[in-house]
Amino acid sequence: MYKILRDCQVKPMELFQLYLYLSPQMAMPHINLLTWNLPQLEAQLPWRYLTITMFSPLSTEYIVAFNGYFTAKARSHFISSALKSSEALDWRIVPRKNPASDFPSDFEVVQIRQASHSSLLTLEDHPYIKRVTPQRKVFRTLNYTPDLPDPGATCNNDTRWTQKWQSWQSSRPLRRTSLSLAFGFWHATGRHSSRRLLRAIPRHVAQILQADVLWQMGYTGSGVKVAVFDTGLSEKHPHFKNVKERTNWTNEKTLDDGLGHGTFVAGVIASMRECQGFAPDSELHIFRVFTNNQVSYTSWFLDAFNYAILKKIDVLNLSIGGPDFMDHPFVDKVWELTANRVIMVSAIGNDGPLYGTLNNPADQMDVIGVGGIDFEDNIARFSSRGMTTWELPGGYGRVKPDIVTYGSGVRGSGMKEGCRSLSGTSVASPVVAGAVTLLVSTVLNRELVNPASMKQALIASARRLPGVNMFEQGHGKLDLIRAYQILNSYKPQASLSPSYIDLTECPYMWPYCSQPIYYGGMPTIVNVTILNGMGVTGRILDKPIWQPYLPQNGDHIDVAVSYSPVLWPWAGYLAVSISVAKKAASWEGIAQGHVMVTVASPAGNNVGGEMTSTVKLPVKVKIVPTPPRSKRVLWDQYHNLRYPPGYFPRDNLRMKNDPLDWNGDHIHTNFRDMYQHLRSMGYFVEVLGAPITCFDASQYGTFMMVDSEEEYFPEEITKLRRDIDKGLSLIVFSDWYNTSVMRKVKFYDENTRQWWMPDTGGANVPALNDLISVWGMAFSDGLYEGDFTMADHDMYYASGCSIAKFPEDGIVIAKTLKDQGLEVLKQETAVVEGVPILGMYQTPSEGGGRIALYGDSNCIDDSHRQKDCFWLLDALLQYTSYSMTPPSLIHSNSRVTPPTGTDRPLPERLEGNHLYRYSKVLEAHLGDPKPRPLPACPHLSWSKPQPLNETAPRFFYLHMYPSTLEG
C-alpha cells in the first residue's frame, strides 16, 4: 500500500481522509492522514483488497443555467446582480479553461461557501437564469467490465494497475462512497463487483455485421463527423488516419488516454487496421471528458456538448450511464444536442440481469439506447433491462433498450497498438455508433438523416431474437444491411415504438402478455414512443382515434389515450390505457382494433406549411371472465419511492456497494420473480398507481404493501380500515427503520459535496405503524439478520425489523436472529432469541378481512435476494384470500405469545428528514410537514369508438416493417 501511495505521488496534506474498503473478513477504522503511518499500515493489511477514496474539503459548487447563450461578461453580470442582495457574500465563478471558453455559453459554475437556501432562490429569481443545480462529480460511469485489479503493478511504471483498478470500480453502480462508515461491515464487496460475465471468443465485429458489404460499395464513413466522449486518445495511434481534433475537458493536462477505454471505443468505430472499425474514413472528434481515474463533472460534459454543437457533429457515442434521470442540466443538454441533429448513441447499462436498471441518458426517447448480446445471440447477463422507471410509480414504463448488438468479448484497439477485448454495454454502444456513422455516409441527401429517422431505420430493420422479451432486447438485434436498405429508400414520417400492442404474444410482449384482462380490473397501460422523422418538433393533429374491429370483438374493450402536446425533440409519448367493457364481464376471447394517430411537423427548407404522417397502432388483447375476488391481488405502487431524487437506502444493509434503492420497486422490475410466481399460482396481480382511496376494495381478496417508503393521507388510513372491516385482507412486507442506523449510514455524496441522510429506512415503519395501529399492531425499530428454518424451509432474514405489538389472539412466529443494529452501531455481535418476525390476524368484525405482517421484504425482492420465501407468500395468500391458516405455522414450535409493545418505544420519524421534498403526500410547513390535500383519483377519458366492419391484420409482427419506411 505504501508503495502504491508513494509511486502515485499522493501527498497526505492534499487529502482530507483515507478510507479502506476491505474484504468481508477484515475491518479497519478510517485513518487521519495527518497522523498516518504507511509502513505500519503496509504491515497490517494485504493491500490487494484496498480501494482508496480521496477527496478534498471543497465548497459547494452549483451549475447556473441560463435561458440562452451569453458572453462570459454578461453571465458574470447576471450572477453578480442576482447575488448582490443575498446572503451569499463569499462566492466566485469557477474558471473553465477548455476549447469552449471562447464561445458564448448557457451556464456557469458558481462556488458558494455555505450557500443558503435563500441565496439559491435569489439566483433562480433572475429573469435570465433558468435553473440552479448542484455540480455533480462521478455522476455517470463507463459501462464496461474488464478483469479485477492486478496486485503486481504500480502507478509510475505500469498503467495496468490503474486500468484494472478503475475498471473494477466502474462495475460498481452509482459511484457513491460511504465515507461516514469506516468499518469493514460497510465496505465488503457486493453483488455488482463480483458479477460473473458471459464471455465469448473475441471476433471482428464489423465483419460479422457485414460492414464489408458496404465498404465494397464504396461507403466507409467519409464525410461524417463522429464524436467519442470518453477517456481520450494518443496522438500517434497507428489505427487511426482521420483524427480531426482531440480536446480535453478535464482538469488533467493531457489529451492521451491513460485508461484504454476511449481508445477501444474509437477503434470499434473507426480503426483502419487490425481490429478494424465500421467507419475508418469518418472524421473522428475525440472529447476527453473522463480523467484516468474515471472522474468527470457535469460541467465538463456541458461544455463539451456545447462544443459538439458548434462543430456540427453528426454522431456522438456515450459509453456511459447512471441511474439519475433527474440531473436536469445534463438531460436538458442531451435534448438540445439531438435537437441540433446530433445522433446520440449510449450504453443502456451493466446492471443486469435485474429489471428496472436502465441507465441515463440511454433511457431518453431521443437517444439510441443499446443493450448487449454475446456471439451466440444470447442477451448478455450484464446488460441492463427495462422498463423505464420515468413513469413509475404511476403505472408502467416504456420499451428500452432500443436495440441490442454484440457487447461480450468484442475486439477493439489497444491503448498504444494492437487489439484487446472488452465486454459491457459500453462495447455494444460504439458498435451501433460505428454502424450509424457508416450508414450516414451511405445517404446522399443528408437532410433525411436525423436522430428520429436513424432510430426508425435501426428498429424497423432489427432482427427479433426468439424467446426474449422487449424489455431485454428492445426491437431486436442490429442488422446493418437491412438498415441500409430502409434508410436509402426512406421518406420522412412518424412511427411508433413499439409499433403494435399484442397482449397475447409471449414472451416478447412480457409482462403484458403474462396476464389476460377482465372487466373491473385496473386499466392496462402501455406507454408508446412516437418517433417523428419529419422534424425536430411536431404535434398530434386532433385526437387519436380508436377504431375497434367488429368481426374481432373490438367493441368489447374501451381505450383511453393521452399524448404529448408537443413532440420535441424528435419524439413524444402515447399512453394507451385498455379496459374491458361491461358487456364482456363474463366473456372470453380475443378483441382487436387499432388507434390512429396523425402527426404534423413544419415543412423544412423554408417551404412553409406542414408535413403530416398518419400511423396505425394495432391493439390485440385476450379477455377472460372476471376472476373471483379471492384470486385478485392488488399491489400498492403509489407508496413506493426510490432514487432519484432522495436518499432512500438499500433494504439489505449487507449489500455494501449498492447504497440506494433505485429499481422502482415494481412487480415488473425488481419484484419480477415474485410476480411470475404469483401468476403461476393462478393469482391475478394488478397495480395501484393512485392513493388507496381510488380502488374498489370489494373486487380484491388481498392488498399487498411491500417495502413502502411513502407516507399516507389520513383519508387513506380511514379508507383501508373500513375496507378491511368489509372483507379486504392485507399483507405487509416491511423492512428496517432505526434512526440511529439511519444517521450511521449517511454518506458524503461526491456529486453534491454534501452529507446525505436517509429520508426513510428500508421502509417507512412509522407510517406503516400509523396505518395498522387501529388493530393493535406495530413494527419495531429493531434491525435483525440471520439464517433460520421455518416450516421446513431454509430462510434468510436480511436487515428486517421485528413485530413490536400484535393482538393477543393473533398468531406470531419468532426466531433467533443476530442484532444487526448493534453490529452496525457498535461493531458488536449479539444473538437475540425469540424475535417476532411474522404475525397473522383475523379481524373481529363480521366478514372482516385478515392481516399478515412480515418484517423483511428482501426474500421476495430480486435485487439482493439470497433465499426466496415465495412459499411463505403462498401460505399468507392462502390465509388472507381463503382464510386457510397454514398448519405448519399454527403448530410451529416457534409460535410465541404476541408482544404487547411495552418493552421499548415504537420507532419515531427521523428528526429533520427531508421526505417532504419528494413525497406525494407531504408538503413543507413552518413546523413539521403536513399532509397535502388528497388528490383526485385518476379519471380516464375513454375514446369514442369509430367501429370498423373489417377483419384485423393476421400478423402484427409484420407491422414492425411498414411499407412506408421502405419507401
Instruction: Using the predicted structure, report yes or no on whether residue 722 has a pLDDT greater than 50.
Output: yes
Beta strands in 488-609 (DSSP E): 494-497, 501-502, 524-532, 539-540, 545-548, 557-563, 571-580, 589-602
Higher pLDDT, 963 or 2: 963
Percent of the chain having pLDDT more than 90?
69
User: Nearest to residue 31, comparing CAs of 917, 22, 175, 829?
Assistant: 22
Region of poorest pLDDT, from 92-96, 145-149, 468-472: 145-149
The number of CA neighbours under 13 Å toward the Cβ of 865 is 18
C-alpha to C-alpha distance for 878 and 83, rounded to whole angstroms = 63
Distances (CA, A) of 531 to 543, 592, 733, 933: 17, 24, 41, 37
Instruction: Using the predicted structure, report yes or no on whether residue 440 has a pLDDT greater than 70.
Output: yes
Region of poorest pLDDT, from 203-212, 247-256, 257-266: 203-212
The conformational region for residue 457 under phi > 0 = left, psi -120 to 50 = alpha, else beta, is: alpha
Q: Phi, psi (5° rounding) for residue 133? A: -135, 155
C-alpha to C-alpha distance for 582 and 176, rounded to whole angstroms = 51
The cell numbers describing 811, all together, are 398468531
Query: Which residues participate in catalysis according to the annotation?
Result: 230, 261, 426
Q: Rg of the Cα trace of the chain?
A: 29
Each residue's pLDDT tens digit, 907-960: 999 988 889 988 999 997 767 789 999 999 999 999 999 999 988 877 665 544
Please report the pLDDT score of residue 651 as a whole number: 87
Indicate yes or no: pTM above 0.75: yes
C-alpha to C-alpha distance for 965 and 495, rounded to whole angstroms = 9
Each residue's pLDDT tens digit, 745-766: 887 765 556 677 888 999 999 9
User: Nearest to residue 107, comparing CAs of 302, 339, 335, 288?
Assistant: 302
Q: Give the mean pLDDT of 299-324.
A: 93
For residue 89, give every residue at least 6 positions away whose Cβ sits within 8 Å of its Cβ, in sequence order, or none.
Answer: none
DSSP bridge partners of 78: none
Please report the pLDDT score of residue 117 as a whole number: 66
Instruction: Using the predicted structure, report yes or no on whether residue 23 has a pLDDT greater than 50.
Output: no
Instruction: Using the predicted structure, report yes or no on whether residue 195 has a pLDDT greater than 60.
Output: no
Instruction: Using the predicted structure, report yes or no on whether residue 171 has a pLDDT greater than 80.
Output: no
C-alpha to C-alpha distance for 884 and 129, rounded to whole angstroms = 63
Cell 378491511 belongs to residue: 724
DSSP state, 33?
G
Each residue's pLDDT tens digit, 609-643: 899 999 999 999 999 999 999 999 999 999 998 88
**Residues 496 and 574 sit within 8 Å (Cβ to Cβ):** yes
Note if the bond before 498 is cis, omega within 30 degrees.
yes
Q: What angle do CA 612, 618, 619 make, to 5 degrees?
A: 135
The conformational region for residue 476 under phi > 0 = left, psi -120 to 50 = alpha, else beta, is: left
Average pLDDT across the chain, whole number? 85
Please report the pLDDT score of residue 643 as a whole number: 81
Please report the pLDDT score of residue 958 as a whole number: 53
* Residue 148 pLDDT class (50, 70, 90 cuts): very low
The conformational region for residue 203 under phi > 0 = left, psi -120 to 50 = alpha, else beta, is: beta
Q: Give exposure, 118-133, as e/b (b: 16+ Cβ within 10 Å).
A: ebbebbeebebbbbbb
Order across the sheet with 283-288: list the strands. 243-248, 283-288, 225-230, 315-318, 343-347, 368-373, 403-406
The cell numbers describing 653, all together, are 444493509
Q: Give exposure, 457-486, as e/b (b: 16+ Cβ within 10 Å).
A: bbbbbbeebeebbbbbbbbbbbbbebbbbb
* DSSP codes, 306-375: HHHHHTT-SEEEE-EEBS-TT-HHHHHHHHHHHHTT-EEEEE--S-TTSSS-PPBTTTSTTSEEEEEE-T
Q: Give exposure, 152-184, as e/b (b: 16+ Cβ within 10 Å).
A: ebbbeeebebbbbbbbbbbbbbbbbbbbbbbbb
Beta strands in 77-119 (DSSP E): 91-93, 105-112
- Among the residues of 190-283, which ranges form H helices? 205-208, 211-216, 261-270
For residue 351, give every residue at least 6 positions away whose Cβ sits within 8 Å of its Cβ, in sequence order, or none.
Answer: 173, 192, 357, 359, 382, 384
Three-state DSSP at 230 gives strand
Q: Give the mean pLDDT of 729-758.
A: 84
Instruction: Using the predicted structure, report yes or no on whether residue 55 has a pLDDT greater than 70.
Output: no
The two most distant CA atoms of the chain are separated, in Å, by 86
User: Nearest to residue 1, comparing CAs of 155, 146, 182?
Assistant: 155
Please report the pLDDT score of residue 30 as a whole number: 35
Each residue's pLDDT tens digit, 470-522: 999 999 999 999 999 999 999 999 999 999 999 999 999 999 999 999 999 99
Each residue's pLDDT tens digit, 363-401: 999 999 999 999 999 999 999 999 998 777 666 889 999
Please report the pLDDT score of residue 173 as a whole number: 33
Total count of residues recorded for the chain: 967
User: Nearest to residue 91, comparing CAs of 80, 105, 104?
Assistant: 80
Amino acid at 669: T
For residue 269, give every residue at least 6 positions away whose Cβ sits within 8 Å of its Cβ, in sequence order, or none.
Answer: 226, 228, 277, 278, 279, 282, 284, 317, 430, 433, 434, 437
DSSP state, 682?
T
